[in-house]
Chains A and B, each alone.
Chain A
Amino acid sequence: MKNKRLYINGISSISAQLGNEVFEGIVTTYHQNIIPAVSQNYKEFIEPMALRRMSRGIKMGITAAKIALNEAGINKPEAIITGTGEGCKQDTDKFLEAILNQDEKLLTPTAFIQSTHNTIGGQLAQNLDCTGYNVTYTQNSASFESALIDVQLLFLEQPDLNSVLVGGVDELSEKTTLFMFLDKQLKEKEISNLDLLIKDSPGTITSEGAHFFSISTEKSDKTYAELIDVLVFHAKTSEDVSEKILKWLQLNNYTIQDIDLVILGNNGDNRFDYFYHHLQNGLFSEKAQLAYKHLTGDYKTVSGYAFWLACKLFKTGSTPEILKLNAVTCQNPKIILIYNQYLGENHSIMILNSN
């Protein structure tokens, strides 16, 4: 079986930053370590009756999915593959608290029904009337990447598939997100998001968002990029990471020289950012290096933002200053590599080509 080339023909991003603003030099600043996503005009995409019962994750997921599909001109994809690191936490918290507070009595099922990790994937199937292949991945910070790996596999098996919808969603919830302060995933002191990468302290800041993409084997005038490959891997040391990246580039018939620009997942956590620093000072020292989590916070499917960013960079050709980690400039990148890890686990790389 020979891999068919896969094109990204529709994209969307809902995050703590408003859509394209970062490319216009506008950045929203927050002084809190838990940052909600910018609210959208959900009514445009979801019926008001249904909207009332939905948690933020479901709203963001359906809206982002529809934006990506509209852009690609697809009414009904042939498969829906969703990634979510922590699932529908708002309804999970709600139902769990009802159980605990009411001593397992007089419970209503709505929150439970919407609490399962595949709620968004299921809602999308219903909304788009799509009976095709449908799976939800939840592998912590490699959930979106796992979904992309399945997209590649699906096209490999069924080269005549027309379009697959893929995306990542995570939402904040009151309690479960607050717990991230308690086990030191979040910085103890509230900071400004723009200072994230210069603070020398443990933990990060978190947020929520949804990123969806319409992928097809057909190139169109809407095409943003070609998806080359995705890898999720285990690594104990930063040397391991460099080795894995080199090996994997080779497998894809690339060398390190072919990479024009890298998007790294630095999240300001001084216990684990050495994974990025090692690459910045080593393998990628001569590449244009970008970071983004000081704009979006870190959450389990935030690499969807990096993926969206890569698509946008190909289209616009220029790089917003706020993203730059070093002085190497790169006009019109051809090949972008994205690397991410969280707490030293669930390492992932994605490569896109401007084609």
Chain B
Amino acid sequence: MNKGIVVTGMGIISALGNSVAENFSALTAGKTGLSYPEFFQTNHSNLPVGEVKFSNEELAGKLNLHEDHIFTRATLFGTIAAKQAIFQASLSKDDLKETGFISGTSVGGMDATEKYYQEYEEKTGQRRFIQAQHPGFTTSQIASYLKLGGYVTTISTACSSSANAIMLGARLIKTGKLKRVVVGGTDCLTKFTLNGFNSLMILSEEFCKAFDDSRNGLNLGEGAAYLVLEADDVLNGKPVLGRILGYGNANDAFHQTASSETGQGAFLAIKKALEIAGLPPEKIDYINAHGTATKNNDLSESTAFLRIFGENVPDFSSTKAFTGHTLAASGGMEAVFSLLALQNDQIFPNLNFEIPMRETGLKPVSELKKKKLLHILSNSFGFGGNCTSLIFSKNEE
């Protein structure tokens, strides 16, 4: 079996807004979602973040949750975004019973753990959150709220988690194991990750400048994004948002947190994705880059571009300066952005870019650009050397 993989629904909540439409309007207006923490409690309030401007109470209200619910912030985001995607794909109750759910998250319910860690032993009130720390708990809760009855699992490969979730969903459809699956990821801002990245000295105090020679680090973000994938033989004439033609996963096998100089993991992931898609490199019209704006990532990723595409590197941009780096959710969000780019024949700009890196001279697209787009490559790379590339394509008969 070799079934085509079609995207029929997408949903997103990010610093740019709580719907695909709100995200699209910010992307086309070149309006960043970066700001300073209002809901997220941290001493590092000088650091810009891509924060979703709703409190947990407001988010829980949108889902009509009971007061004693066990939804951590990532679970709230995930449920809201996946619900939008399911609504757009208009999946029926019967469809949902057999629809799978594959979610990526890095720290799951860590926000609750860091809030209650020191009081669990003394007080009984919040102990229902003890299990909520674990990523699988987040996923199970979203699946249960949305009544998704198929295969449910969680992938945690740091910042490539949701790209891997999309890839697994695509593979399950292609091999005929599932007809429908909701895929993507969710992560919220936590002290744990913010301080972790800060201790690695890779957070910038400015709005991030991906691929710029003077880039000095990333900004963290939060949110969730999910797609509904279906096999093309179960569509019944449903509108198609795009297709997944290719995917590739490789490990850089170099260092736990740094990417290799040669960009080997990225190179292999892109190469495999092109092979699966059956496309030569020159067919890629645009790359939604991982582009975190750290010195290390952007150089390593650029090197991989040069190795794959030679002198003809396609148009590329990083959308991290819009949303911040949303870690495990970033692959899902950038999948939504890639599909929006395909649908509208528009490339969203790489904000804050001024001067090309001296090592490569590569210039990202820095203004909104109209262009006919057929195939888009989207990259996600994570700690642990986990690199994943996806290829989204226009639905053309």
Contact = CB atoms under 8 A, between A and B. Distances in A.
A175 B250 contact: no
Contacts of A183: 127-128, 130-131
B251 A109 contact: no
A166 B253 CA distance: 17
7 contacts: A87-B135, A99-B192, A116-B384, A117-B135, A122-B384, A139-B154, A157-B171
Contact of A116 (B106, B134, B149, B153): B106
Given A117-B156, A117-B157, A150-B168, 15 more contacts: A87-B134, A95-B192, A100-B117, A104-B44, A107-B198, A113-B200, A113-B383, A116-B156, A125-B251, A126-B255, A131-B268, A136-B155, A137-B153, A137-B155, A232-B152
Contact of A121 (B130, B134, B198, B384): B384
Contact of B175 (A107, A146, A157, A179): A157
Contacts of A192: none
A241 to B, nearest CB: 15
A41 B171 CA distance: 39
Contacts of B136: 85, 138-140, 142-143, 346
Contacts of A217: none
B393 interface: no
Contacts of B43: 103-105
Interface in B143-168: 149, 151-158, 164, 168
Contact of A112 (B137, B139, B196, B384): B196
Nearest to B114: A96
Given A118-B158, A122-B384, A133 B152 contact: no
B384 A182 contact: no
B254 interface: yes
B25 interface: no
Contact of B196 (A95, A139, A176): A95
Interface in A300-355: 300, 345-346
Contact of B130 (A92, A108, A150, A182): A182
A132 interface: yes
Contact of A122 (B140, B155, B386): B386
Contacts of B254: 126
Interface residues of A, number: 65
Interface string B106-132: 100010011001101100100110110
B42 interface: yes
Given A153-B177, A157-B171, A180-B130, A113 B257 contact: yes
A279 to B, nearest CB: 21
A80 interface: yes
B42 A104 contact: yes
Contact of B114 (A100, A116, A126, A133): A100
Interface string A87-103: 10000100111011001
B249 A139 contact: no
A163 B155 CA distance: 22
A120 B293 CA distance: 26
Contact of B384 (A104, A118, A138, A149): A118
Interface of B: 1-2, 42-44, 106, 110, 113-114, 117-118, 120-121, 124, 127-128, 130-131, 133-137, 139-140, 149, 151-158, 164, 168, 171-172, 174-177, 191-192, 195-196, 198-200, 249-257, 264-265, 268, 382-386
B36 to A, nearest CB: 16
Contacts, number: 197
Contacts of B257: 109, 113
Given A112-B199, A182-B127, A136 B156 contact: yes
Given A1-B175, A100-B114, A117-B156, A135 B249 contact: yes
Contact of A100 (B110, B118, B158, B252): B118
B300 to A, nearest CB: 14
**Interface-central residue, A96, A176, A346, by most chain B CB under 10 Å:** A96
B379 to A, nearest CB: 16
Nearest to B143: A234
A101 B157 CA distance: 28
A109 B384 contact: no
Interface string A171-192: 0000110111011010000000
**8 closest cross-chain pairs (CB), A and B:** A122-B384, A112-B196, A117-B156, A140-B136, A125-B251, A118-B384, A134-B251, A109-B199
B156 A118 contact: yes
A99 B118 CA distance: 12
B145 to A, nearest CB: 13
A70 interface: no
A134 B383 CA distance: 12
A131 B256 contact: no
Contacts of B175: 1, 153, 156-157
Contacts of A99: 114, 191-192, 195
A179 B129 CA distance: 10
Contacts of A121: 157, 251, 384, 386
A114 interface: yes
A133 B128 contact: no
A119 interface: yes
Nearest to B249: A133
Contacts of A214: none
Contacts of B200: 109, 112-113
B385 A126 contact: yes
Given A143-B136, A175-B117, A183-B128, A138 B250 contact: no
B228 to A, nearest CB: 19
A162 interface: no
Contact of B172 (A103, A118, A123, A153): A153
A131 B265 contact: yes
A239 interface: no
A255 B37 CA distance: 59
A180 B134 CA distance: 13
Given A96-B113, A100-B114, A112-B199, A179 B152 contact: no
Nearest to A84: B156
Nearest to A2: B1
A138 B195 contact: no
Given A96-B192, A117-B106, A121-B157, A130 B253 contact: yes
Contacts of A182: 120-121, 124, 127, 130
